Amino acid sequence: MASLQELIAQGQRIAAHRGATRAVVDAATWILAARELQDGRLSLLGLWGELGAVHMALLDPAAHEIALLSLDAAAGRFPSVGQFHPPAIRLERTVRDLHGLDPANAPDTRPWLDHTKPYEFLPAEGEHLHQIPVGPVHAAVIEPGHFRFTAGGETVVRLEERLGYAHKGIEKLMTGAPLERAAQLAGRVSGDSTVAYAIAFARAAEAALGIEVPARAVWLRALMAELERIANHFGDIGAICNDASFAMMHAHCGVLRERVLRAADTTFGHRLMRDVVVPGGVARDIDTAGIAAIRELLADAQRKFPPLIKLYDDTASLQDRTVGAGILRTELAEQFAAGGYVGRASGRRFDARRDLAYAPYDALTFEVPVRAEGDVNARVWVRIGEVEQSLKLIVQILDRLPSGATYAPVAAAAGEGIAIIEGFRGDILVWLRLGTGGTVERCHLRDPSWFQWPLLEAAIEGNIVADFPLCNKSFNCSYSGHDL
């Protein structure tokens, strides 16, 4: 047994790294850490490569501590973490695709984001089984991805995902980019989380450069983050019900979502609040018209949302579809360190806003809704609870918004930093190294979907094919955020 502190102590600490400790370790310590992950004492927050090195981010869930371990891989190989800890498998396949580093003894040697090579799906054999290929172009207006179902009659025996269709090479584009352009790219990793990504990137940059951001900017960022959260939750609660053919919830929730986007447009000049959060602060201050728009939105949501919750709760035909569908077991949620409502609906109590207590959430009062059942219904209820909490948070933010500047100049300098923040979908990790002159040397952005997509494969098993859209929407993983 080795604690996070002991693992760090076995390596060489990098003094320039800020936001969390980073230590360069040897292969033996790297494997020791993988064993700790296997035994469930640590959680994997990310694993990524660069030229000649691999890094992994670890969370000690009991102590709420984070650390990074780095391993030299100049020889082009590193010991696979995936051989001990399955959540690392797709990450390692990606490291090989993007950086040519080979995970030794990896259990799955197929490519992942690289689609230029032949690809074989895992075999699923048995009497009377048939396969259903779906995607990458889907029937509805959604992102591209391929789902290979093996079904026995109507029942899904196995689902295998193939992703990477939205791979844009974002991390490579960032390399060598000035900070401003890199921040804009970060805001385009996953459009539904543009605020969350912009905050994560800005915080990583500010950690790397040792910049203190004005308090008003920090609070305005949180205001935008909570608006983004409720907009997505409103939209998805409606869409989940729509996938159970209950269009009325979809219509009403769609109205609530539109009202949030319009208030955001009035207040911050963009419906999705894109490019408003920048390293050093925010690009736009809020005015009295903006505050009035958000207060009006709050009043409207507080009046209209409770009857919709009651409608969801009282409609037996809807509950018939959501209760017991797509169950994700707690052990799997814990093993994969599933973030957001996916983890919290299966009993994993982690919310970066509370557990990592970054500003201004350390000064705000809120609860983190958790359910144990792990079904579609539980994920809906967690989201309902989160909307209620976010509405309360927005009230607190407006009431206590500090005055003063909203931007602190950012020096073009070198540095290394990491930030983890809570987007609507879960915790987003950004790791950044800036070279002399302030250009990006390497930036890694880890979407919460990396640890949620594999769990959808498990949750759908034994459900009927027709319930897949419902289960999929209840997870609502990001394709673009995952594919980078």
Least distance CB 261 / other proteins (angstroms): 7
Own/partner pairs, 223-226, CB within 8 angstroms, 24+ separation: 223/286, 223/294, 223/394, 223/397, 223/398, 223/401, 224/195, 224/199, 224/264, 224/268, 224/273, 224/276, 224/277, 224/282, 225/195, 225/196, 225/199, 225/421, 225/422, 225/423, 226/390, 226/393, 226/394, 226/397
Cα–Cα distance measured from residue 32 to residue 115, given in angstroms and rounded to the nearest whole number: 33
Are 58 and 68 contacting, i.e. CB atoms less than 8 angstroms apart? yes
313 in contact with other proteins (CB under 8 A): no
Q: How many Cβ atoms sit within 10 Å of the Cβ of residue 372?
A: 10
474 in contact with other proteins (CB under 8 A): no
Q: Which of 40, 178, 307, 437 binds other proteins (CB under 8 A)?
A: 307
Interaction residues for other proteins, span 172-201 (CB under 8 A)? 172-173, 184-185, 188-192, 194
Q: Which of 34, 156, 170, 356 binds other proteins (CB under 8 A)?
A: 170
User: CA–CA distance from 77 to each of 69, 96, 98, 174 (Å)?
Assistant: 16, 9, 14, 24
Q: Which of 54, 59, 68, 166 binds other proteins (CB under 8 A)?
A: 166
Q: Which of 24, 142, 391, 401 binds other proteins (CB under 8 A)?
A: 142
Q: Residue 40 or 169: which CB sits closer to other proteins? A: 169
Least distance CB 196 / other proteins (angstroms): 13
Are 380 and 250 contacting, i.e. CB atoms less than 8 angstroms apart? no
Q: Residue 35 or 162: which CB sits closer to other proteins? A: 162
255 in contact with other proteins (CB under 8 A): yes
Least distance CB 24 / other proteins (angstroms): 29
H or E stretch including 65?
Answer: strand 65-72
165 in contact with other proteins (CB under 8 A): yes
Of the candidate spans 141-149, 290-298, 407-415, 458-466, the one that interacts with other proteins by CB under 8 A turns out to be 141-149
Could you tell me which residues come within 8 angstroms of residue 167 by beta carbon, excluding any fewer than 6 positions away? 113, 115, 483, 484
DSSP letters, 136-179, are: SS-SSS----EEEEEEETTEEEEEEEE--TT---HHHHHTT--H
Question: ∠ at Cα 166 (54, 270), nearest 5°?
Answer: 105
Q: Quote the longest CA-to-CA distance of the chain.
A: 70
For other proteins (CB under 8 A), the number of binding residues is: 47
Q: Residue 467 or 483: which CB sits closer to other proteins? A: 483
258 in contact with other proteins (CB under 8 A): yes
H or E stretch including 64?
Answer: none
Are 432 and 254 contacting, i.e. CB atoms less than 8 angstroms apart? no
Q: Residue 75 or 140: which CB sits closer to other proteins? A: 140
144 in contact with other proteins (CB under 8 A): yes
Question: What mask, x for binding other proteins by CB under 8 A, covers residues 94 to 123?
Answer: -------------------x-x--------
Q: Residue 216 or 252: which CB sits closer to other proteins? A: 252
Residue 47 token pair: 């694993």
311 in contact with other proteins (CB under 8 A): yes
167 in contact with other proteins (CB under 8 A): yes
Q: Which of 110, 271, 295, 392 binds other proteins (CB under 8 A)?
A: 271
Least distance CB 173 / other proteins (angstroms): 5
Contacts to other proteins by CB under 8 A: 113, 115, 136-137, 139-144, 164-170, 172-173, 184-185, 188-192, 194, 235, 248, 251-252, 254-255, 257-258, 261, 271-272, 274, 307, 311, 314-315, 478-480, 483
